[in-house]
């Protein structure tokens, strides 16, 4: 059976007929839970994208996950490529993580005091990561980035931050801004409740635009504390940058006495153990982490050289604290997960599997002449309904193409495939995705694409 699937969907993919339109999955219990949730939470959710506003139907309420599978409240089973938005690189409910967490739970949930588990996870990270010398654990990626910005400002005694349009760094006030009307402008608030004065300290420019960055440093000489970029921008499509551009960021920040921050909340420990820093072989000044280092538990961290980190309280004057920082359950989960990632050929096997998966889909759409590209780096991928060979800036994404994704998402759910409920979100392959499940997923993706392009959405 597997050989026949490989022949059909492997290296020499040929167009195959769609099985036709599938009926919509049952969502009765999820719909009931959603109606109830709306009486408790704004929009019925605790994070906006979960509301399914960009796709069809009500949100799915998940009951459980195991390996590469999810089951919702109505009993529907899905092959999951969202992986809790990235942290579950080993898949759901991994036995070694579960065992380590259970042992930690037996000793207590939280102490607000140091534990040996913090040392163990920090040693595991720093010993195998040449890009940082000291680390500070926090409770989320947002908190990690917020703290990194404060550190950069404290170190440089400057106030302004440069970020890029299309890069998301959490919901702290300094970074929840969008581009202004000009090529190089102060940011404008992208959320109610963010004071204009905060946004005025953030300059937003396009990605992959050297002139814009040169102009920024010319116009705001000796005012810029740091330039921050996602390791590989993955929150607004997958905007893969060329190494030459990232090296340009490194060079221009050094020349102007500013710091370079890599936000590796998604890419950290995903592309490889040393993340995007190693992928580009470029040393940033500060790196932020999250997601994978918690093994599915809430966690974040930021790290830098010992020289920079000595400014953090209680050693220095840059204050940052947190009751649940270094939470023992989260540390235990992270230790278990990162230990698995250190096994021989883990990343080679995972990335090869992901590249074969996305490569087969790309060959299929090319054979069918569909207007879609699958961009990927390591085990991260993104479906873009475009004929552009490269998309490196947010402005290159056609908003109208999201209507195609909306229809695609519905067809995938009806065939048992779960992707994030937004066409701007990336997908992930985990170690738990076996060849059999990936072949099933490819078949479902082929059929879904056939259906989408047979009935092209109105745009």
- The string of DSSP codes covering 336-381 is HHHHHHTSTTHHHHHHHHHHHHHHHHHHHHHHHT-S-EEEEETTEE
Residue 361: name the closest of 373, 369, 378, 352 by CA.
373
Q: How far is the CA of 248 from the CAs of 130, 211, 239, 244, 274, in angstroms?
A: 21, 11, 17, 6, 20
In this model, does residue 143 exceed pLDDT 70?
yes
Mean pLDDT value across residues 163-183: 76
pTM of the model: 0.93
b/e per residue, 209-241, with b = 16+ CB within 10 A?
beebbeebbeebeebbbbbbbbbbbbbbbbbbb
Residue pLDDT, tens place only, 60-71: 999 999 999 999
Based on the domain organization, do 249 and 110 belong to the same domain?
A: yes
pLDDT value at position 176?
79
Question: What value does the mean pLDDT take over residues 2-23?
Answer: 53
Mean pLDDT, to the nearest integer, of 329-351? 98
Domain of 188, in residue numbers: 95-342
d(CA 339, CA 341): 5
Asked whether residue 220 carries a pLDDT value surpassing 60, the answer given is yes
Q: Find the CATH number of the domain harbouring 88.
A: 3.90.1150.10
Same domain, 236 and 367: no
Question: Are residues 129 and 266 both part of a single domain?
Answer: yes
pLDDT at 20: 67
Q: What CATH number should be reported for the domain holding residue 129?
A: 3.40.640.10
Would you place residue 187 in the very low, low, confident or very high pLDDT band (cuts 50, 70, 90)?
low
The Cα 14–Cα 9 span in angstroms is: 8
Last residue of a domain, one of 316, 342, 368: 342
Does residue 72 lie within any of the structural domains?
yes
Average pLDDT over every residue of 226-246? 97
Check residue 190 and give its pLDDT.
Answer: 73
Tell me: pLDDT of 404 over 50: yes
Tens-digit pLDDT profile for residues 373-383: 999 999 999 99
Res 83: pLDDT:
98
Same-domain pairing of 273 and 161: yes
Residue of 266, 229, 263, 223 lying closest to 248 (CA atoms): 229
Mean pLDDT over residues 373-397, rounded?
Answer: 96
What does the pLDDT read at residue 174? 78
Q: Residue 8 — pLDDT band, cuts 50, 70, 90? A: very low
The answer to whether the beta carbons of residues 419 and 68 sit under 8 Å apart is: no
Q: Just list the catalytic residues.
A: 168, 263, 291
Asked if 438 and 297 sit in the same domain, the reply is no
Residues 133 and 234 in one domain: yes
For residue 201, tell me if it sits in a domain: yes
172: left (phi over 0), alpha (psi -120 to 50) or beta: beta
**1 in a structural domain:** no
Is the same domain home to 278 and 408? no
338 plus 349 within the same structural domain: no
- pLDDT tops 50 at residue 9: no
Q: Is a pLDDT exceeding 50 seen at residue 185?
A: no
Question: Considering only 123-132, 181-190, 201-210, 232-241, which range has the smallest mean pLDDT?
Answer: 181-190
Say what angle helices 346-368 and 328-341 make with each other, to 10 degrees. Answer: 80
Task: List pLDDT tens digits, range 98-121.
Answer: 999 999 999 999 999 999 999 999
Q: Determine the Cα–Cα distance for residues 333 and 351; give it in Å rounded to an integer.
A: 23
Whether 17 is covered by a domain: the verdict is: no
Q: Binning pLDDT at 50, 70 and 90, where does residue 7 land?
A: very low
pLDDT at 18 over 80: no
Q: Please tell me the predicted confidence (pLDDT) of residue 368.
A: 97
Whole-angstrom distance, CA of residue 72 vs CA of residue 79? 12
CA contacts within 13 A on the Cβ side of 343: 11
What is the CB-side half-sphere exposure of residue 257 using CA atoms within 13 A?
Answer: 13
**For the packed helices 435-454 and 2-9, what is the interaxial angle rounded to 10 degrees?**
40
End-of-domain residue from the set 342, 372, 388: 342
Question: Quick one: 447 and 311 in the same domain?
Answer: no
Query: Counting runs of H as helices and runs of E as strands, what totals does the chain give?
Result: 14, 17
Cβ burial, residue 256 (10 Å; 0-12/13-18/19+):
middle
Whether the per-residue pLDDT at 179 is higher than 80: the answer is no
How big is the CA angle at 86 (ends 231 and 384), to the nearest 5 degrees? Answer: 75
Q: Any bridge partners for residue 384, and if so which?
A: 373
- pLDDT of the residue at 3: 45
Would residue 284 count as lying in a domain? yes
pLDDT at position 120: 98
Classify residue 293 by its DSSP letter: G
What does the pLDDT read at residue 459?
65
**Number of independent structural domains in the chain:** 2
Tell me, yes or no, whether 157 and 229 share the same domain: yes
Residues 243 and 282 in one domain: yes
**257 in any annotated domain:** yes
- pLDDT tens digits, 284-321: 999 999 999 999 999 999 999 999 999 999 999 999 99
415-457 tens-digit pLDDT: 999 999 999 999 999 999 999 999 999 999 999 999 999 988 8
Q: Is residue 287 assigned to a domain?
A: yes
Domain boundary among 342, 367, 402: 342
> 178 and 139: one domain?
yes
Produce one character per residue of 338-369: b if its CB has 16 or more CB atoms within 10 Å, e if not.
bbbbeeeebbeebbebbbbbbebbbbbbeebe
User: Contact 166/192 with Cβ under 8 angstroms?
Assistant: no
Return d(Cα 20, Cα 158) in angstroms, integer: 60
């Amino acid at each position: 059976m597997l050989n026949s699937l490989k022949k059909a969907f492997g290296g020499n993919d040929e167009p195959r007929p769609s099985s036709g339109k599938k009926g919509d999955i049952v969502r009765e219990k999820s719909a009931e839970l959603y109606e109830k949730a709306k009486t408790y939470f704004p929009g019925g959710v605790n994070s906006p994208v979960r509301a399914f506003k960009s796709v069809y139907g009500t949100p799915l309420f998940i009951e459980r996950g195991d390996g590469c599978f999810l089951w919702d409240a109505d009993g529907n089973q899905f092959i999951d490529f969202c992986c809790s938005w990235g942290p579950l690189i080993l898949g759901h409910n991994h036995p070694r993580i579960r065992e380590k967490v259970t042992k930690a739970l037996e000793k207590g949930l939280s102490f607000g005091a140091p534990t040996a588990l913090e040392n163990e996870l920090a040693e595991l990270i720093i010993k195998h990561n040449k890009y940082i010398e000291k680390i500070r654990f926090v409770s989320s990626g947002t908190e990690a980035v917020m703290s990194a910005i404060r550190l950069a400002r404290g170190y440089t005694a400057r106030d302004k931050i440069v970020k890029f349009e299309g890069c998301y760094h959490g919901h702290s006030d300094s970074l929840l801004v969008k581009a202004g009307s000009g090529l190089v402008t102060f940011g404008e608030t992208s959320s109610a409740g963010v004071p204009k004065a905060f946004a005025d300290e953030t300059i937003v420019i396009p990605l992959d635009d050297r002139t814009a960055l040169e102009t920024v440093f010319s116009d705001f000489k000796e005012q810029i504390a740091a330039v921050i970029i996602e390791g590989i921008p993955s929150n607004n499509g997958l905007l893969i940058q060329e190494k030459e551009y990232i090296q340009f960021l490194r060079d221009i920040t050094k020349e102007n006495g500013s710091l370079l921050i890599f936000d590796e909340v998604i890419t950290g420990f995903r592309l490889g153990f040393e993340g995007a820093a190693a992928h580009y072989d470029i040393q940033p000044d500060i790196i932020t982490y999250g997601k994978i280092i918690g093994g599915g538990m809430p966690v974040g961290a930021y790290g830098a050289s010992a020289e920079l980190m000595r400014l953090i309280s209680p050693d220095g004057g840059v204050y940052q604290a947190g009751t649940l920082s270094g939470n023992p359950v989260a540390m235990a989960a992270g230790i278990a997960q990162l230990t698995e990632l250190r096994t021989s050929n883990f990343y080679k096997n995972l990335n090869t599997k992901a590249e074969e998966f996305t490569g087969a889909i790309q060959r299929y759409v090319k054979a069918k002449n569909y207007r879609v590209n699958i961009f990927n780096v390591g085990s991260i991928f993104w479906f873009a309904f475009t004929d552009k060979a490269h998309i490196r800036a947010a402005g290159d994404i056609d908003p109208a193409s999201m209507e195609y994704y909306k229809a695609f998402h519905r067809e995938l759910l009806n065939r048992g495939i779960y992707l994030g409920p937004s066409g701007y979100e990336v997908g992930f392959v985990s170690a738990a995705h076996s060849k059999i499940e990936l072949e099933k997923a490819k078949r479902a993706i082929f059929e879904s694409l056939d259906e989408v392009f047979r009935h092209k959405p109105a745009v």
